[in-house]
Amino acid sequence: MVLSSCNFVYNFVELRVMFFEEGSRSTRRSHKGKDIYFRTADLPSSPTHICIFEDPACTQFLPLAYFRPVYNLRCGITSLKEKIILQFPGAGVTIHCRSYLAEYMRLRNPQFRVNEIPGKECLFVNGRVVAGEPLKKAVSGKRTSDVVYMKGDVVVAARVSGANLARLKQRLSDVLTAADFDGIEREEVDADVVSYVWDVVQRNGREISADFEVLFGKSRSTKRRTKLKEGSNNGAYLLNAKRVSIGSGTDLNPGVVLDAREGPVVVGENVTLFPNCTIIGPAYIGDGSSVKVNAQIYPGTSVGPVCKIGGEVEGSIFHGYSNKQHAGFIGHSYVGAWVNMGAGTNNSDLKNNYGRVRVQTKDGIVDTGLQFVGLSFGDHAKTAINSMFNTGTIVGVCSNIFGFGFPPKYVPSFSWGAAGETFTTFGLDKAVEMAHRVMARRKVTLSETEKKLIGNIFEMTADERRRRGMPA
């Protein structure tokens, strides 16, 4: 059954927000942003301009934050950036990022200003904030003076104008620290701020449900365009159909089960759900993705766009254009863009003693305080068949893992090698060639800007390879 209806668009014309998925400019032309409308009466008064900024903690999200600012990480249906923009409709937007990302972000986001702020007043919002009602309430009141909103020692947001703003404009080529906001009145607020990748993964199920209410809830629409019924729909079975949203052009095959009893199931446009796959909400499948025969998608999973997913996936996030289409388990993991996982790839997300997971990062060991932590898997990384990963493993960008046994719990970016053996460096030329080849198969062009970005990241990660005895 191919669905021709689309409930991603609502007939409220007071305000329009455009979202673009992970990919290059050519990708945006072929996978267009969703138009999301809101009643003006539902929204608080908003600032005229916001700046979504990165702070020094962005490095705690590596390797996932090498190819993107932290606020471009997906958490739920939307990214952290999109959640912030939804709270301040009508405002102009500046996205602030580390200097080496600026050219790439301008290419990818022509609708936003990058590292430049117009005017004489601005609301700064930390890109690590999981934005929602608490943030909106905290910063929406009228004030006659500048203020910095703090959670402990973290700058959550700041209303800044005049000389204070002029000073901050000079600092936009680097991450913004709490010291950059010195001299401005401070106020403690309640806000949800993530500090590591596993914090994003842990919140994903909750945020799918929250995003569903914002995008598709009763307060946003009195009409549902998708004609779905409880139970069988031409052989596909829906449980709690009122919490299922399916985009136009999606192929819903016999034997598919969409179970929204414990949370919503949102399926994008032009998705293929192969026979006998099961998706249990809260879950999100992005535009152009495929869920393979007998796949089992468990709660807390976000996928896409343009991913191929098979086997068993639980509580995990896949960025765009990544494949895990064969048997194998991926749980409580965050997988970057342009990843391919060979058949039988598995990860552990729970220690045998059920203890708290400690993660080896590039700078040292971090106690997550969590019982379930899976992979942090960088962009453009690949695994061979039957690869397996220990609890809390980090795999760097542009790495290639093969062989039997567990690789180290920290695999530097641009690594090449077999588990249990000494890794060597996957050279820059080879990494660029592979990225070009893989992207071309999806009819996406690797731009000169992206080639330059890969080269910059290769240089930035040289020291972590040296420290592990690899050629830089």
Q: What is the DSSP string of 64-93?
A: TTSSS-GGGSB-SSSBHHHHHHHHSTT-EE
Write the CA distances from 319 to 297, 305, 358, 456, integer angstroms: 15, 7, 24, 21
Handedness of CA 131, 134, 139, 140 (dihedral sign): positive
Long-range pairs for 231-240: beta carbons < 8 A, 24 or more residues apart: 233/1, 234/1, 235/1, 236/1, 236/273
Tell me the C-alpha distance between 240 and 403, whole Å: 44
Burial of 294 (0-12, 13-18, 19+ CB in 10 A): middle
Q: What pLDDT, on a 0 to 100 scale, did the predictor assign at position 36? A: 33
DSSP labels, 238-285: EESGGGEEE-TTEEE-TT-EEE-SSS-EEE-TT-EE-TT-EEESSEEE
Q: Mind listing the pLDDT tens digit for each residue in 31-45?
A: 333 333 333 333 334
Q: Is 367 exposed, middle or buried (0-12, 13-18, 19+ CB in 10 A)?
A: exposed
> For residues 86 and 125, is the Cβ–Cβ distance under 8 A?
no
101: helix, strand or coil: helix
Using CA atoms, how far apart are residues 356 and 370, in angstroms rounded to an integer? 5
Backbone angles phi, psi at 101, to 5 degrees: -90, -10
CA dist., res. 133 & res. 156, Å (int): 14
User: pLDDT (tens digit, 9 = 90+) per residue, 141-166?
Assistant: 777 789 999 999 999 999 999 999 99
Q: pLDDT at position 228, please?
A: 63
Give the model confidence (pLDDT) of 446-466 as tens digits: 999 999 999 999 999 999 999
Please report the pLDDT score of residue 216 as a whole number.
Answer: 87
- The CATH number of domain 201-466, selected from 3.40.50.620, 1.10.3720.10, 2.160.10.10, 3.40.309.10: 2.160.10.10
Domain boundaries, the chain: 40-196, 201-466
CA 413 remoteness from chain centre = 19
Closest CA to 200 of 348, 46, 72, 297: 72
Which of 244, 242, 236, 154 lies closest to 190, judged by CA?
154
Q: φ, ψ for residue 149 (rounded to 5)? A: -95, 120
CATH number of 40-196: 3.90.550.10
Nearest to 30 by CA among 44, 17, 20, 43: 20
Gap between the Cα atoms of 278 and 73, Å rounded = 25
Which helix or strand (DSSP H or E) is residue 148 part of? strand 147-151
Chain segment 99-121, per-residue pLDDT in tens = 999 999 999 999 999 999 999 99
Name the residue among 243, 261, 257, 320 with its Cα closest to residue 285: 320
Here the tokens at position 425 are 């460096």
Q: Name the helix (H) or strand (E) containing 160.
A: strand 154-161
Tell me phi and psi for residue 31, to 5 degrees.
-125, 90
Q: What is the pLDDT of residues 360-394, one digit of tens each?
A: 998 899 999 999 999 999 999 999 999 999 999 99
For position 232, what pLDDT does the model report? Answer: 62
What is the structure's pLDDT at 144?
Answer: 77
How confident is the model at residue 23, as a pLDDT?
44
Would you state the pLDDT for residue 230? Answer: 66
pLDDT at 224 (0 to 100): 37
The kind and range of the H/E element at 116 are none
* Closest by Cα among 306, 301, 303, 342 to 325: 342
Contact between residue 273 and residue 256 where contact means Cβ atoms under 8 Å apart:
yes
Query: What's the average pLDDT block by block, 10 residues per block, for the chain (472 residues)?
Result: 40 29 38 34 60 98 98 98 93 97 96 95 97 84 86 96 96 96 94 97 98 78 48 83 93 95 96 97 98 98 97 98 98 98 97 96 94 98 97 98 93 92 93 98 96 98 92 78
